[in-house]
Amino acid sequence: METVSPHKRVVVTGMGVIASLGHNVKDFWASLLAGKCGIDRISLFDPKDYACQIGAEVRGWDPTQHMDAKEVLALIEETYGLTNTTQAIKDALKEQNAAIVKLANEETLDDAEVAALTARIDKLHTI
């Protein structure tokens, strides 16, 4: 079994989700807490010839709310992952922006440092 190098680490700073129980973290989490089940009879095709006719389909999700319609057509299989990534980055930026305000209020950073940090974060908004 391969050991993980201590120099290869991943840090998750934000979350995003597209699932049968919700199209964002807030709705997904609320569905989980409410004990909802995201599994139902498959509706994207007729499953009558298959032994298993149930699944956790993502219903009612519009990828054009998250990206250009032309991109959706070109990347139809990847739209869930791209949207999850976008949501995770936005979630991470929310916390970073809050940290910047906190740092600025405590005056541990000078104005130039806050401006530089904010500019770096604003660049991430374009991803």
pLDDT per position as a tens digit, 71-109 = 777 676 677 777 777 787 777 777 666 666 655 555 555
pLDDT at position 41 is 94
Residue 116, domain member (yes or no)? yes
Residue 107, domain member (yes or no)? yes
Q: How many C-beta atoms lie closer than 10 Å to residue 3's C-beta? A: 5
Residue 48, domain member (yes or no)? no
Overall number of domains in the chain? 1
**Amino acid letter, residue 118:** T
Domain of residue 69: give its range.
62-127
What's the pLDDT band for 14 if we cut at 50, 70, 90?
Answer: confident
What pLDDT digit, counting tens, does each position of 38-47 carry? Answer: 999 999 889 8
pTM: 0.53
State how far the alpha carbon of 92 is from the alpha carbons of 43, 83, 95, in Å.
34, 14, 5
Long-range contacts formed by 58-63: CB under 8 A, 24+ apart: 58/18, 58/19, 58/20, 58/23, 59/20, 60/23, 61/18, 61/23
Residue 118, domain member (yes or no)? yes
